[in-house]
């Protein structure tokens, strides 16, 4: 059933409640449009702190914020929990699990998901970390494997449970590697006195020759130095060949026995069905013009990780970071109003505000334009920026208190196994995939 817009104002549908989607809606506040946001969750996730949820330092609720509550005072905003199953650009309709919705302007802000580069074994056996449910799955897997290690009688038997391999040395991999190293160095002996912390090994693997590839050489070298000092084994120029759930193998013959492989080696855009395949470029991103409008369409926009604005200045598109989505979202919101009023749209210009990554307690790297610094002050800047970027006053307070407690005690977090994580079996050929409600 199609539900048409009965309002006298144009209907703007935003698909996705991430950084970009939020910014579009904010830019359209009190404007002569009706805004409908669709997302499969009713909350916004602050993804930069997912790794702290995965390692038990923060609870999931402290990095999530209600989308409805965020727009309490915006009268032209509505929200619906729904999954978008397709788009019909000709009819100007979005197909969803709660019915069809007509739009006058559509903003695709669906973000990205983990890219396993077509390897089904890795996809099934490795752990991604792009959402709160995935971060919680990873937390429970880590804790369950530590509990299993306690039950093993020999070092050889404990080895696969205590080897942690992080594939992808970008900010996610680096920050998670640092968090796991701190767990080993400061927590393992307290929570698991039966285990020898030296048996827990953390590997950070990347096929590139440096960690934090997009960062400056100074930041990359400092991050590698910090990680190695914490006991992380950094393996660069190493390409993963396969992972079967018990052994990860690399080109060249090296193998590691492990039940803990965390995959952050790449992302790919989440593109709704109905967008022309000719417009999809590397990374499963949608080609857009200089105002983030999908090429070939007059009223469909794409922003953030799912958008590819290819220009001579940005031949590979813009970086897949929160600032890109936020700035694109603000630009698109303003340009929709310009278009409605018959005014010329303003080309998008990305303002690179710099990059930050933390490696652990008192350790971070910062590239802020020409200013580059590492260590304790960079760590303070990282904390301040992330704290003020969180949605909700309560979340800011809770996270700050957690951070202070963790800093003072070196033993933050609760690390409870609320539910067991059990990986689904791979369906055999011609066997239907089991459905779970």
Contact 215, 203 (CB under 8 A): no
C-alpha–C-alpha distance, residues 4 and 174, integer Å: 47
**Tens digit of each residue's pLDDT (9 = 90 or more) over 83-104:** 999 999 999 999 999 999 999 9
Task: List the domains of the chain with CATH numbers.
Answer: 2-114+267-340 (3.50.50.60), 120-265 (3.50.50.100)
Q: Which pLDDT band holds residue 422 (cuts at 50, 70, 90)? A: confident
Whole-prediction pTM value? 0.90
Segment 7-54, tens digit of pLDDT:
789 999 999 999 999 999 999 999 999 999 999 999 999 999 999 999
In whole angstroms, what is the distance from residue 143 CA to residue 132 CA?
17
Please identify every residue annotated as catalytic: 175
pLDDT, tens only, 254-289: 999 999 999 999 899 999 999 999 999 999 999 999
């Amino acid at each position: 059933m199609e539900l048409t817009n009965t309002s006298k104002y144009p209907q703007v549908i935003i698909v996705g409640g991430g950084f970009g989607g939020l910014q579009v809606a904010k830019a359209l506040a009190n404007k002569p449009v009706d805004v409908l946001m669709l997302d499969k969750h009713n909350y916004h996730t602050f993804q930069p702190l997912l790794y702290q949820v995965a390692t038990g330092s923060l609870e999931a609720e402290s990095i999530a914020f209600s989308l409805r509550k965020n727009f309490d005072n915006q009268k032209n905003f509505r929200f619906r929990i729904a999954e978008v199953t397709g788009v019909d650009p000709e009819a100007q309709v979005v197909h969803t699990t709660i019915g069809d919705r007509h739009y006058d302007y559509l903003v695709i802000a669906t973000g990205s998901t983990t890219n396993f580069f077509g390897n089904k074994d890795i996809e099934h056996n490795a752990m991604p970390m792009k959402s709160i449910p995935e971060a919680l799955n990873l937390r429970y897997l880590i804790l369950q494997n530590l509990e299993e290690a306690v039950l093993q009688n020999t070092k050889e038997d404990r080895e696969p449970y205590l080897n942690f391999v992080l594939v992808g040395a970008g900010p996610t991999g680096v920050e998670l590697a640092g968090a796991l190293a701190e767990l080993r160095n400061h927590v393992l002996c307290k929570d698991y006195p039966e285990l020898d912390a030296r048996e827990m090994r953390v590997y950070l693997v990347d096929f590139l020759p440096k960690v934090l590839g997009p960062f400056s050489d100074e930041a990359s070298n400092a991050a590698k130095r910090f990680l190695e000092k914490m006991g992380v084994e950094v393996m660069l120029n190493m390409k993963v060949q396969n992972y079967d759930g018990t052994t990860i193998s690399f080109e060249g013959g090296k193998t590691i026995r492990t039940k803990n492989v965390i995959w952050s080696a790449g992302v790919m855009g989440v593109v709704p069905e109905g967008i022309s395949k000719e417009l999809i470029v590397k990374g499963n991103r949608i080609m857009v013009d200089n105002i983030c409008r999908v090429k070939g369409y007059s009223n469909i926009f794409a922003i953030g990780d799912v958008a590819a604005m290819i220009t001579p200045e940005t031949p590979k598109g813009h970086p897949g970071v929160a600032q890109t989505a936020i700035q694109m979202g603000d630009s698109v919101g303003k340009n929709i109003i310009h278009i409605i009023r018959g005014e010329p749209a303003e080309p998008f210009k990305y303002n690179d505000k710099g990059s930050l990554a933390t490696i652990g307690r008192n350790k971070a790297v910062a590239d802020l334009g020409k200013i580059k610094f590492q260590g304790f002050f960079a760590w303070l800047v990282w904390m301040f920026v992330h704290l003020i970027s969180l949605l909700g006053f309560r979340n800011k307070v809770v996270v700050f208190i957690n951070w202070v407690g963790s800093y003072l005690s070196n033993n933050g977090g609760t690390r409870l196994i609320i539910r067991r994580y059990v990986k689904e079996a791979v369906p055999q050929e011609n066997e239907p995939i089991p459905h779970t409600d």
